[in-house]
Amino acid sequence: MNNQEAINHATGRSQYLDDIPVLKNTLYGVIFGSPSARGKIAGLDLSAALAITGVQRIFTQSDIPGKNDIGGIISDETLFAGDEVHYRGQPVALVVADSEHAARKAVKLIKIGINEQEPVTDPRLAKEKGHLLIPSRTFRMGDISAAWNECDYIVEGRADCGAQEHLYLETQGAYSYPVDNGSIRIHSSTQSPTLVQRIAARVLSLPMNRVEVDVARLGGAFGGKEDQATFVAVMAALSSLLLQRPVKITLSRGDDMRMTGKRHPYSADFRIGLTKDYRIKAYSAVLYQNGGAAADLSPAIMERTLFHSTNAYFIPNSEVTVHSCRTNLPPNTAFRGFGAPQGMFVIEAAIAKAAEELNVPARMIQKANFLKDNDLFQYGQVALDVNIGKCYMELDREFKIEQIENEIAEFNRSNSIYRKGMALMPVCFGISFTNTTMNHARALVHIYQDGSIGISTGAVEMGQGVNAKLAKVAAGAFSVDQGRIKIESTNTTRVANTSPTAASTGADLNGNALLIACNKLIERLKGAAAISLGCSTEEITLHEEKVFRNGAPTDMTWEKLIREAFLMRIALTENGHYATPEIFFDKSKEKGHPFAYHVYGTAVVTVVLDCLRGIYRIEKVLIVHDFGNNLNPDIDRGQMEGGVLQGIGWMTMEEVLFDNEGKMLSDSLSTYKVPDIYFAPEILEFRALKTEGPGLALLKSKAIGEPPFMYGIGAYFALHNAIRSFNPSWKPDYQAPLTPERVLMSLYDKK
């Protein structure tokens, strides 16, 4: 958060999508979603809806001038339902009216006939029926079938983890209006301006240069606005183009929850084999990803599940398969961690179950199998600068893990209603888009005549602080005051062909592109200074708003330098392009070097469980994290604290509920609960592991957006251990989230 941005937020002056002052004649759109989860549309009666005062027009698939296709990776998703519906809430029509109120009234009067078919919501059933979104994929290493024979213990089981609603506080929205030359401008709450532009162009049958997408900032996103902002933006674009009037769509919370996808639920079968010294010799797993009704980002998420299916462990023989299953739920999508948390949950469940059968703390197995330098990841990349062991040792040194274990054991002996539990959660997370071709970015830098600087990149600010990081990079490069810098909105006419702001790569990719642009400008400015001062370029440096010659200040200020350079007709605008070097991946072999680097860390999570009522609180989260050369401690602290609690929420109280007909039961904030201030861990402490940081990270400061989320998984296993302490006869089912209901039922389960 740069200072100005924080001030604007704190005073309520920042403009989010729904805050943009509307143009005269603006219309408002409300989407009509399918009331059934699966079936053929037999009839659509719009007459009563059209009769509502203020309704201008109702759009359906037949109004689309281009293709009715909004699929990003695969063309399997429509903007408006065609002849069939595949999930409840699937957009069928858009009502556009003088007011949102009138449009909402009209939506309620749309009549649809659907010949219903039985929906499939269980991914295992979908797999059985052959409903897959894409062909299944398997990562292998070593010789798994031979390895089982070398194991002293083999443990099998099943693990399931649930969906998670993003609950960005700002719902999806878009505001579109016609501009000159048959073009349109779309303000969209998207993490992917280029995707919105590309899909809008496809649907509207316009060249991309006629579609401008602008994003000022997002009120939270967490992956939920990577692909799923698109349909809202494209509907606004379509209706504004065809009506030649401005159209705004802001989803109500209920529509947003019912229409958009969540974090993918996964169901998995695992098998883990260990030797007597707790070394994991073999691990196999089959994971059923519940993809929902369309591919959306599921193929990429499935891939990241595979990449992280062995978490921070070296397992010489492994075989992990993911089936991406098509079900009659809203298309599930990106969410912080992007499939990695689910893969990690499964292996941690396997380790927990093995620990239970061996009657040792899971920690003994975890620490015996940490990755080491030069170990091979399952996908062929050689592990370098591995810090997982160091994080663990530092954690133990700082917080004394055994002492915590002993204190908990003592507490559990002396108290009969309350039980405590502890778990260790190591994390290894790869940084880069796993799709190598997406790892690039551009930055456009203008230095204005007065010395102020405007910067545009492809990065979207959504609270993660990328604008502050970019401002810091540029201010550092030019050695000027940050007050001179303005980070512009993210706009497709200024920076084109961008990748989404996602995968924790926003700062690395866009920041490195920005550095390249700044450095080119600096070279030109030094040349100008050299001419002006009558010396050679090598003698010039820029330091604290001044030109230095041979290390000594001259009387040439930054402003004077810029003025002179301008008069010399030197270009004060520059573009930087960055593409991550070294990375590649060969899908035909499922081997390569997909990640620029990995982020490591280890957490201890402790919980206090009220065994009478089945309710609990998170007592402590203690972390040692590898930030690299931590450049923005304030921002990184925020990402750490926020990510951890979001992960804990996923594992505990957050539960997306559907009935068998595919109707969402948790479609409001009164039925879907996310952590509040009282659920935050009582103590959350973290230490930075002192490392130099990888060269491919922006100024050697490692990416931070996603990795902390996975520490939250520790809350599940800490609760699990607390329950076991109270009810030793409980047979855990490794089913997340561990809601108060599951906890109480487990406490009194007499199996």
Partner 1 sequence: MVTFILNNEQVSTAKPTGSSLLDFIRYDMGLTGTKTGCREGDCGACTVLAGTLTGNTVIYRSAVSCLMPLGNAHGKHIVTIEGINTGHLSHIQQAMADQGAIQCGFCTPGVVMSLVAESTSYRKTTRDSAIASTGGNICRCTGYKSIERAAEAISAFLGDKEITDPVRWLIERKQLPEYFLAIPERLAIIQATEPPPEQAEHTKHGKHPEEHGMRLRIAGGTDLMVQKADALAESGIVTLSERKDLKGIKTEAGRCVIGASVTISEAGESETLNHYFPEISSCIRLIASEHVRNMATVAGNIVNASPIGDISIILLALNADVTIEGDLKTRILPLRDLFLGYKKLDLSPEEFIRSVSFEYNPASALFSFEKVSRRTHLDIASVNSAIQLRMAGDTIAECHLSAGGVGPVPLYMRQTSAFLTGRPVSAESLMLANEIMQEEASPISDARGSEGYKRLLLRQLLIAHFMKLFPDKIKPDIGQL
Residues 321/285, Cβ–Cβ less than 8 Å: yes
Q: Which of 39, 614, 693, 694 is in the footprint of partner 1 by CB under 8 A?
A: 614
Residues 259-288 that bind partner 1 (CB under 8 A): none
User: Which of the stretches 322-330, 568-576, 642-650, 690-698 binds partner 1 when contact is defined by CB under 8 A?
Assistant: 642-650
* HSE toward the beta carbon, residue 729, CA cutoff 13 A: 5
Of 16 and 153, the one with the shorter C-beta distance to partner 1 is 16
Would residue 400 be called left, alpha or beta, if left means φ above 0 and alpha means ψ between -120 and 50 degrees?
A: left
First and final C-alpha spacing in the chain = 52
Specify the amino acid at residue 600: Y
d(CA 606, CA 615): 14
Q: Which of 611, 651, 698, 736 is in the footprint of partner 1 by CB under 8 A?
A: 611
Residues 12-41 that bind partner 1 (CB under 8 A): 12-16, 18-19, 21
Of 331 and 705, the one with the shorter C-beta distance to partner 1 is 705
User: Which of the stretches 10-18, 356-364, 519-527, 547-555 binds partner 1 when contact is defined by CB under 8 A?
Assistant: 10-18
Show the DSSP H helices in 11-120 as ranges: 47-50, 100-107
Give the contact letters, 207-236, x = binds to partner 1 (CB under 8 A), - = no.
----------xxxxxx--------------
CA proximity to 335, closest of 521, 542, 191? 191
* DSSP-derived secondary structure for 357-387: HHTS-HHHHHHHTB--TTPBPTTSPBP-S--
d(CA 432, CA 579): 11
User: Which of the stretches 4-12, 43-51, 140-148, 310-318 binds partner 1 when contact is defined by CB under 8 A?
Assistant: 4-12
CA proximity to 234, closest of 45, 459, 66? 66
> Does 10 help bind partner 1 (rule: CB under 8 A)?
yes
Helix (H) or strand (E) holding 394: helix 388-399
d(CA 340, CA 335): 10
d(CA 443, CA 213): 16
Q: Which residue do the tokens 């878009």 mark?
A: 174
User: Which of the stretches 6-14, 284-292, 341-349, 537-545 binds partner 1 when contact is defined by CB under 8 A?
Assistant: 6-14
Nearest approach, Cβ of residue 734 and partner 1 (Å):
19
Residues 70/203, Cβ–Cβ less than 8 Å: yes
Q: Which of 106, 235, 684, 736 is in the footprint of partner 1 by CB under 8 A?
A: 684
CA proximity to 156, closest of 401, 428, 412, 356? 356
Q: Which of 161, 241, 521, 644 is in the footprint of partner 1 by CB under 8 A?
A: 644
> Does 91 help bind partner 1 (rule: CB under 8 A)?
no
Residues 506-525 that bind partner 1 (CB under 8 A): none
> Does 192 help bind partner 1 (rule: CB under 8 A)?
no
Q: Which of 601, 675, 694, 707 is in the footprint of partner 1 by CB under 8 A?
A: 675
User: Which of the stretches 122-130, 341-349, 609-617, 623-631 binds partner 1 when contact is defined by CB under 8 A?
Assistant: 609-617
Which backbone phi and psi does 540 adopt, to 5 degrees? -95, 135
Residues 705/640, Cβ–Cβ less than 8 Å: no
Which backbone phi and psi does 663 adopt, to 5 degrees? -90, 130
Residues 456-495 that bind partner 1 (CB under 8 A): 462-465
> Does 11 help bind partner 1 (rule: CB under 8 A)?
yes
Q: Which residue do the tokens 């994290």 mark?
A: 625
Of 62 and 670, the one with the shorter C-beta distance to partner 1 is 670
User: Which of the stretches 101-109, 199-207, 507-515, 557-565 binds partner 1 when contact is defined by CB under 8 A?
Assistant: 101-109
Of 266 and 709, the one with the shorter C-beta distance to partner 1 is 709
> Does 104 help bind partner 1 (rule: CB under 8 A)?
yes
Residue 535 CB contacts under 8 Å (≥ 6 apart), including other chains:
549
Q: Which of 23, 51, 409, 665 is in the footprint of partner 1 by CB under 8 A?
A: 665
Which backbone phi and psi does 579 adopt, to 5 degrees? -130, 125
Q: Which of 165, 402, 706, 741 is catalytic?
A: 706
Residues 117-176 that bind partner 1 (CB under 8 A): 166-171
479: helix, coil or strand? coil
Q: Which of 252, 435, 482, 493 is in the footprint of partner 1 by CB under 8 A?
A: 252
Q: Which of 210, 486, 637, 700 is in the footprint of partner 1 by CB under 8 A?
A: 637
Would residue 84 be called left, alpha or beta, if left means φ above 0 and alpha means ψ between -120 and 50 degrees?
A: beta
Give the contact letters, 399-418, x = binds to partner 1 (CB under 8 A), - = no.
-----------------xx-
Residues 66/203, Cβ–Cβ less than 8 Å: yes
Q: Which of 134, 364, 376, 674 is in the footprint of partner 1 by CB under 8 A?
A: 674
Residues 249/28, Cβ–Cβ less than 8 Å: yes
Nearest approach, Cβ of residue 745 and partner 1 (Å):
6
Judged on CB neighbours under 10 Å (0-12, 13-18, 19+), 486 is: middle
Residues 528-587 that bind partner 1 (CB under 8 A): none
How many chain residues are in contact with partner 1, going by CB under 8 A? 81
706 is catalytic: yes
Tokens of 264: 């993918």
Q: Which of 42, 146, 571, 657 is in the footprint of partner 1 by CB under 8 A?
A: 657
Of 125 and 657, the one with the shorter C-beta distance to partner 1 is 657
Q: Which residue do the tokens 């997340």 mark?
A: 736
> Does 312 help bind partner 1 (rule: CB under 8 A)?
no
Give the gyration radius of the chain's Cα atoms: 27
Of 169 and 382, the one with the shorter C-beta distance to partner 1 is 169
Given 3-state DSSP classes, what are the helix, strand and coil percentages for the chain, each rounded to the nearest 5?
Answer: 35, 25, 40
Of 220 and 337, the one with the shorter C-beta distance to partner 1 is 220
Judged on CB neighbours under 10 Å (0-12, 13-18, 19+), 494 is: buried
Q: Which of 670, 728, 731, 751 is in the footprint of partner 1 by CB under 8 A?
A: 670
Give the contact letters, 44-83, x = binds to partner 1 (CB under 8 A), - = no.
----------------------------------------
> Does 673 help bind partner 1 (rule: CB under 8 A)?
yes
User: Which of the stretches 233-241, 368-376, 548-556, 631-639 binds partner 1 when contact is defined by CB under 8 A?
Assistant: 631-639
Q: Which of 414, 678, 728, 751 is in the footprint of partner 1 by CB under 8 A?
A: 678
> Which of the residues are catalytic?
706
